[in-house]
Structure 1
Amino acid sequence: MSFQGYDKNFNIKDKVAIVTGGASGIGKAISELFLEKGAKVAIFDLKENVSDIAKEMNAEKAIGIYCDVTNNNSMDQAIQMAKNYFGKIDILVNCAGIALLDDAEKISDDYWQKTIDINLTGTFKMSQKIGNVMIEQGHGGKIINLASQAALIALDNHVAYCASKAGVIGMTKVLAYEWAQFKINVNAISPTVILTELGKKAWSGEKGEKAKKEIPLGRFGYPEEVAAVALFLASDAANLITGENIVIDGGNTIK
């Protein structure tokens, strides 16, 4: 067996990617970069205008599909639409997520369950469904799960979020182990605070300045920086990487 090489410009030309939560924030940055690098992208999102958002990104190579990752029928319909439209699925990025925060001693059942349902169960069910498509197709694939630094360290008021993201990393390792035989690479990305529109609002002012002082590199991240790692993991350059969690946190978790 000889090394086949890879595109050193990290193009993923003619690959078909599904990005959940792809209409805003980190998911949108990933969708945009994948499109720039030649992929065709199905953007799954709860936003009612997801189709318009996809057309604005790229009318020819992007399609926006309403999808609720807590609803099996919604996921099945969205996956079938994407497969019918593009003919195959090569890459899945699980970016849909939620952060419902409260003190551990008083967090509601609703907050806990919604967090687990979207962040952990939704990520697993989408991976399971797309994993089966990839196995049936027979040419492997890449699955990339968005975890968080919250999977590795304790964060105040984040008990449900931390639990859900730690579960994502554990699940990623098992899927990578089981599906290596099918040439499906499964990896996770764990960012620190990322300056999406929501991130900017949640971490503004004194709270944000205090948090940045805890980060050795002294700043939060940008969606494009997470997208760059997702592109690497989706490309042939990462064919030997599976079951890993790549941390993008300015050194916050090395202390």
Structure 2
Amino acid sequence: MQRLKNKIALITGAARGIGRGIALCMAEEGADVVLNDLPPGMPEVVDVRSTAAEIETLGRRALVVYGDVASRDAVERMVATAVEQFGRIDIVVANAAFSIRELVVEAQWEHVLRTIEVTQFGVFHTCQAAARHMVARGGPGKIIIIGSILSQIPLPTSAAYNMAKAAVNQFAPTLAAELAPYRINVNVINPGYIDTPGERKFATEEELQRAAQQIPWGRLGTPRDIGRAAVFLASDDADYMTGSALCVDGGYRVGMRLPS
């Protein structure tokens, strides 16, 4: 349908998982894409250039900008580089996140701090820098924040991550109210249980399959499920939506039952 034809999209955490799925879906819909992630060479880091190569096979332009979203300077450089190369940014997806699962009583403070710096503050840095650019050119624009159903469901061992996702769910409508006069839409997507490399760090294949059977839709979500939702929010079809939270979870929440 090419709903994003001639649009420039910037996506953080785009090397794998949900970020990669969003990037590919947006490229398929006609967007040129700025891809951000950590530089290669760090432990467990996938080079985002692999996502860029896939986008280029779709006939779209891809620009890689390495940087840690926990750093305000890195985020400002990322946005400045995108604007310098492409002239503007129409769509921003604040997706990058981090989590180490520990019980609260056992949690190491450096792990808690890193989780919040990336998952909460990284969203603030990204959205602020993007909003400044969009406001300076008089709008419009689309800002999409990737939250989580864990902003509402208290998954044990995930306190810092849950807390950060709850925070960005409150941040989004606040930003939406401030940016509405510029016709800059700000919305959240709250994914459910999505089959990503990040989730596979915490669960075996057997555990994932068992979890899938308990979801009303009968399967785990995929990065493309979130990518298609992001395309919708980035398109003209969602122009009258701002300050909203879109839950994409295969019915995970409605499948939860109190003891009978």
TM-score where L is the length of structure 2 = 0.89
Aligned pairs (5 A) from 1:106-125: 106-125=106-125
On the 8 A contact 1:151/1:169 being kept in 2, the answer is yes
Partner of 1:131: 131
Partner of 2:162: 162
User: What is the rounded CA distance, in whole Å, between the counterparts of 2:119 and 2:85 in structure 1?
Assistant: 27
Question: Where do 4+ consecutive residues of structure 1 move more than 4 Å?
Answer: none
Matched residue SS, 1:130: helix
Matched residue SS, 1:18: strand
Root-mean-square deviation (Å): 1.7
List gaps (5 residues or longer) in structure 2: 41-46
User: What is the rounded CA distance, in whole Å, between the counterparts of 1:203 and 1:135 in structure 2?
Assistant: 42
2:17 to 11, 25, 28: 25
Matched residue SS, 1:202: coil
Partner of 2:52: 54
On the 8 A contact 1:20/1:96 being kept in 2, the answer is yes
Equivalent pairs counted in the alignment come to: 247
Question: Partner letter of residue 155 of structure 2?
Answer: L
Identity of aligned residues (%): 34
User: What is the rounded CA distance, in whole Å, between the counterparts of 2:160 and 2:91 in structure 1?
Assistant: 28
Partner of 1:198: 198
Matched residue SS, 1:227: helix
Question: Partner letter of residue 17 of structure 1?
Answer: A
Matched residue SS, 1:242: coil
Question: Partner letter of residue 138 of structure 1?
Answer: G
Matched residue SS, 2:194: coil
Aligned pairs (5 A) from 1:146-185: 146-185=146-185
Q: Give how far 1:163 is off.
A: 0.3
User: What is the rounded CA distance, in whole Å, between the counterparts of 2:104 and 2:48 in structure 1?
Assistant: 34
Which whole-Å deviations, capped at 9, do the CAs of 1:45-88 have from their partners, x for residues lacking one?
10334346414421751111101101122111111111010000
On the 8 A contact 2:15/2:50 being kept in 1, the answer is no
Q: Residue 217 in 1 paired to residue 217 in 2?
A: yes
Partner of 1:35: 27
On the 8 A contact 2:186/2:243 being kept in 1, the answer is yes
User: What is the rounded CA distance, in whole Å, between the counterparts of 2:242 and 2:52 in structure 1?
Assistant: 29
Question: Partner letter of residue 147 of structure 2?
Answer: A
Which whole-Å deviations, capped at 9, do the CAs of 1:81-123 have from their partners, x for residues lacking one?
1101000011000111112111122211111111111001110
- Farther-moved stretch of structure 1 (212-221 vs 170-179): 212-221
Which whole-Å deviations, capped at 9, do the CAs of 1:19-57 have from their partners, x for residues lacking one?
001121111111111111111110011033434641442
List gaps (5 residues or longer) in structure 1: 1-8
